[in-house]
A and B are shown apart, each in its own frame.
Chain A
């Protein structure tokens, strides 16, 4: 399936405008004297998933936050569909490692949050919230507070909230990093299934090499201190990416390749 084919006609929860292009153009991030990331260039095509891996402290989360408009690059620029990011652009959704749910809001209210901020009519908010909650498999838990839910269910809520903005771009900040292995595995394949139905641009930061290869059309391997692009690997695995793909020899080979790059002495892996 080519990239172009993935940009299907918009449906109720899919992005109205299709995925956006993300351009990370020669970005350097500096905090005081410390250089967190240096001269990073990554182009993400519309509807493409790019995974970012690297040793801890290589600036991968910093990079994601720059794309989200949460911190400004010290040099270079980030563009979404050609527009320079100075605050979070319209249609960019983000999934946080620790979910980022409002503990005082129910599942329903957390998912409806972006819709309420846009001032949509009440009936529309209710309808879309119900649909999103159904999509992530949380029907029946609308009135639960986050602390009453398991980690997996909390992240389903976080995912539904990110999808509520009908994103052109999804920014994933180690979304399954705080979950137990089994829950993470289940959610990975569910997210992949959702993506096959509504493909959008995704920038996927993770410390799991399996996850990077499983999701990525390309895997950007960063090396540490300061973070630079070490290598970009094309992942020519077939779609849909299901469990059969994850068991294939090609997958194992790619996984080994990324592993050796991340672990190579000049990647700056701290151990």
Chain B
């Protein structure tokens, strides 16, 4: 993997900012030509500021954030937990493993209305949609990691007469953690998409709800403003995910494996 040195960092930031500026200028120019379809950045910022001052945006952010976090947390606990269990139990692997791999390819978008209808459109049902969107990459990465626990280290544990719980503490969990973290990084992106899917159907809530109603009103300033806001949040979350992935495996740094 390529790692940027500390001296190239300000340059990378400058390049990114220049790109952003160019994009904004292009957007402003395009918006002035067709103000109905494409509101200008200035008007979009005004629209966002209006929603902040009347309190709708903070409330929506809180709604969306809560849904995202609860769904993602459930997916992490469920995905990593079941993944570890699955890796140690042949019986469970045989009976449910194939289902995991079959189910992961089902598009949650298609199932969302069904799930929401079945579980009552409330916070619980929406959380379930987020959970289902995010859990599979986490689960699958965890299983893959745990499955490849080095044989030698498992033997080292046996030679030292390790019990089952110390085996998890000393070998399986630390070995699997970096794999699980890659899964969680993908899971963050999936949970993000899942959150908006959950918010779009029937009882529209949160940022998704605001987007939907602005879109219906043909309020392009609000739609574009929210879209940019959402992309910025998504980018920050992905950055956070990558940070986490590194932070959880300090021994991997410069590893020659």
Contact = CB atoms under 8 A, between A and B. Distances in A.
Contacts of A98: 152
B90 interface: no
A113 B160 contact: yes
Contacts, number: 55
Interface string B136-160: 0000000000000000110110111
A92 B251 contact: no
Nearest to B254: A147
A88 B170 contact: no
A115 to B, nearest CB: 10
Interface bin, chain A: 20 to 34
B107 interface: no
B120 interface: no
Nearest to B173: A104
Contacts of B160: 88, 113-114, 117, 165
B185 interface: no
Nearest to A109: B170
B122 interface: no
Contacts of B250: 145
A102 B157 CA distance: 10
Contact of A90 (B161, B249, B252, B256): B161
Interface residues on B, range: 20 to 34
B contact patch SS: helix
A102 B255 contact: no
Given A102-B171, A102-B174, A117 B158 contact: no
Contact of A103 (B159, B166, B255): B255
Interface in B164-199: 166, 170-171, 174-175
Contacts of A165: 160
Contacts of B170: 102, 105, 113
Given A102-B153, A104-B175, A113-B170, A94 B256 contact: no
B96 interface: no
A69 B158 CA distance: 9
Interface in A117-176: 117, 145-148, 165
B162 interface: yes
B152 A100 contact: yes
Given A117-B162, A145-B251, A147-B256, A96 B156 contact: yes
Contacts of B174: 102, 104-105
Contacts of A147: 251, 254-256
Interface of B: 152-153, 155-156, 158-162, 166, 170-171, 174-175, 249-252, 254-257
23 contacts: A87-B158, A88-B159, A88-B161, A90-B161, A92-B159, A94-B156, A96-B155, A98-B152, A100-B153, A100-B156, A102-B174, A103-B251, A103-B252, A103-B257, A104-B174, A104-B175, A105-B170, A105-B174, A113-B160, A145-B250, A147-B251, A147-B254, A147-B255
